[in-house]
Structure 1
Amino acid sequence: MQLIIALLLLILIGGCGGKKRSEESRQTTIRERQLVLPEIPVMVRSDAERRLYLLDHYWDRVDFSEPGIERDTLFITRSLVDYLGLSKGVDEARRRTAARQLVGQAERNPAALSLLMSSLSALLYDPTSPRYDETLYLPFVEAAMGSDSLPVAERDRLAFACEQIRKNYPGTAATDFSYRDVEGRAHHLRGLYDTEPILIFFFRPDCSGCDVTAQQMRRSAVLDRALEEGRLRILALATGGTVEEWEEKRSHFDPRWLQGRNVRDFEGIDLYDFRAMPTFYLLSGEGIVLIKDQPLPVVEQYLTEHPE
C-alpha cells in the first residue's frame, strides 16, 4: 500500500511539474521578442525613399544591450532576413553606411554583436544558403573586423573573409590564368577577351555535383539561346583530377563550350575564391567580373535580365 501511495505522489508531482513547465513555455512564447518597425514620416512618399528610410531606421527600436538578446537567434535571424531584403538593390555606399550603423548599435553588447555576425555569415556567406551573397555580406565584415567588441580571433576570421571576398569582386578585373585545351595547347584567360561575355564553369572531374550541374547546363534554354545568338562563350575549366578523368568527363559536354584544364594554379594557390564546387564566374567581354562564385540559377537570371 505504501508503495502505491508513493507512486501516486510521484505521478501527481510530475503532473504538476508538467503543468508548470507548460505554463512557463506558454509565457515564454507570449514574451517572444518582436521587432517594432519605425513609423515612416508622411513626407517620405516614393517607394524608393520609403525603402531607404526603413533601411536607415530598421533597428532603431532594438535595444542590443537588453539581457538575453545575445541568445535570441530566432529574433536576430528573422529580423535580418527582412532587413537584407531591403538592402538589395541599394547602392553599395548606402549599404556600407547602414552596416556601420547596425554594427555600432550591436557593439553595446559584444555577445549580441557576435550573434549578429554569425547569423549574417550563415545567411550570406554559407554557399549552401539560398540567400548567399558576398556583396551584401562584405559591408558588415568591413564594419565589424575593426571592432574592439569582438575577440581577436573573430576579427582575424573576418579579415580573412574580407580578403577572400575582395578577390575578383564584381566590378573588378578578373585575375588572369593559363590553361591547356584538349589538344594540349597553352592559352590565357585574357586571350578570350573580346565583346561577348565569358562564363567560366569551374569544376572537378571527380565531383558528382559538377556532373549534375553540367547536365543542367546542357538542358538550360537560357544558355542555349545565348550561345546560339553569339551573346555568350562558356569556358569549362577543370581544376582538379587526372587527365584521364577530365577526358572522360569532357566527352559529355556541349561541343560549343571551350574546354581547358589547370590543376597547378588552382590547387594550393588562391587565384580565385571557391566556396563550393562547381561554381560560376561571369565576365564581361573585357574581363570585368559581373558575377562571382554563384550557382547556375543566378547566372541564368542575370542573362535573362541582360539580354544585350
Structure 2
Amino acid sequence: MKSPIFSFWLPICVAILFCCSCKDNTKSKQQNEKLLITADSTLLHFWDKFDMKDTAQVKNPEKGEQQLADFIQLLSQNPDSATRDKAVDLMLDKAKTNRTSFDYFIKQYEHYLYEGNSPMRNDILYESVLRYLIKTDLLSDLEKEAYRPTYKLVLRNKEGQAAEDFSYELANGKKQKLSDTKVKYTFLIFYDPDCSHCKETIHQLRDTPQLVQLFAQLQVQVIAIDPWGDRTKWKNYESQLSDKWINGFDAESKILSFNLYDLKASPTIYLLDENKKVLLKDTYLQQVIDYFVKTNS
C-alpha cells in the first residue's frame, strides 16, 4: 500500500506570482472553444480504427498499451466529465466484443490510473471506468460488486467537495480535528516515517527557502499526519518536521479503518481551501506549486 510518489521538482520563482499583468483573453477563449470541439471529436473517435478482435495487437505493448496511454493523455486534457464518460463508454463497448481484450484493457486502466506507483494516477479518470464496470451487461452481478468498494473510495474527497474531517493527536497529547485549523489553504500530507519518498517531499517543504516563503505569503498551513499507527516511529520522526507545521498522529487508525482517505501512495497529498474543500486530490508537490502560480498570477 505504501508506494513511491514521483517527484517532478522544478525551480521555483515566487516573483512570477506577483508581477504578471492581466491581459485581454477574449480571443484566446474563442480559440480554446474551437480547440475543445476538435479535441472532443478526436477523443470520441479515437478507437474507431483499432481492431479489438486482434488479440495480438491488443497485447502488443507498442500498440494496445501505447494506444491506451495516448487515450488517457487526451482524457486528462478534456475538462468535460460527460465527454470523458462517453469516450470511455465507447471504447469499452467496442472492447467488450472480445472478452480477452476487455479484460486486458481493464487491467491496464487500473495499472495506469489507480495503482499507487503510477505517475499517471488519476481518480477522476478512473471513476469513468468504474462507473462503466458497475453498469455494463458484460459482467455478472458478483463481478460488478467487486468494483463497488473502489468506486465508493474514489468518490470520497473529490475536488470541490468538503474533505473528510478526522481527529488526530498532537505531540503534547491534545487532540484536534482537521476542521479546527482556520487558514486560507491547508496542505494536508499523509506520510510514513519509513518512506524515503515521504522524507524527500518533507525535506523539500521544510528546506526550500522559496517554498517556505511562498507558503507563508499565501497563508498555507502544512498538516502532516502519520496514519500508520506506530507511535514510537511517529515520535522519533518529529524532529524532521518544521516546528511551524501541525504534526498529527491517528492513534486509533480511523483514517485507514474507515477508508476516510485513499492512501494507496506515500506520501498522499491534498490541497484544501479555507472551508476545507478539496482543491487538489492525491496530488504532487509540484502540482501544488503550479496551482498557486496559476491562481495567483
TM-score category, normalised to shorter length: 0.7 to 0.9
Distance change (3 Å), C-alpha of 1:110 and 1:172: same
Q: Which amino acid aligns with 1:278?
A: P
1:278 and 2:252 correspond: no
The verdict on how the C-alpha distance between 1:250 and 1:52 changes in structure 2, with shifts beyond 3 A counting, is same
1:1-308 mapped onto 2 (5 Å cutoff): 46-66=34-54, 68-90=56-78, 91-150=80-139, 154-194=143-183, 196-220=184-208, 223-264=211-252, 265-307=254-296
Size of the aligned set, in residue pairs, is 263
After TM superposition, which residue ranges in structure 1, 4 or more long, deviate above 4 angstroms?
Answer: 151-154
Range moving further from structure 2, 110-119 or 295-304: 295-304
**Distance (whole Å) between structure 2 residues aligned to residue 295 and residue 153 of structure 1:** 35
Unpaired runs of 5+ residues, structure 2, are: 1-32
- What is the SS of the residue equivalent to 1:80? helix
Query: Which residue identity lines up with residue 231 of structure 1 in the other structure?
Result: Q
Which one scores higher on RCO, CA 8 angstroms, separation ≥ 6?
A: 2
Amino acid in the other structure paired with 2:77: G
Judged with a 3 Å threshold, the aligned counterparts in structure 2 of structure 1 residues 269 and 46 are, in CA distance, closer, same or farther, namely closer
Indicate the larger mover: 250-259 or 65-74: 65-74
After TM superposition, give the deviation of residue 153 of structure 1 in Å. 5.8
Please identify, of 172-181 and 141-150, the stretch whose mean Cα deviation from structure 2 is larger: 141-150
TM-score, with structure 1 as normaliser: 0.77
Q: C-alpha separation between the residues in 2 aligned to 1:190 and 1:115? A: 42
User: Structure 2 vs 1, CA of residues 151 and 76 (structure 1 numbering), >3 Å: closer, same or farther?
Assistant: farther
C-alpha distance 48-230 of structure 1, shift in aligned 2 (>3 A): closer
Which deviations, in whole Å up to 9, do the C-alpha atoms of 1:214-250 show, x marking residues without a partner?
1122234563233220431110112134434323212
CA RMSD of aligned residues (A): 2.3
Aligned residues of 1:222 and 1:300 also touching (Cα < 8 A): no
Residue number in structure 1 paired with 2:20: none
Give the CA deviation at 1:166: 0.9
How far did residue 187 of structure 1 move? 0.8
How far apart are residue 69 of structure 1 and its match? 4.3
| In structure 2, C-alpha distance between the alignment counterparts of 1:240 and 1:160, rounded to whole Å | 21
Give the conservation status (yes or no) of the 8 Å contact 1:126–1:132.
yes
- SS for the counterpart of 1:88 is helix
In structure 1, the gaps of 5 or more residues are 1-44
Identity of aligned residues (%): 25
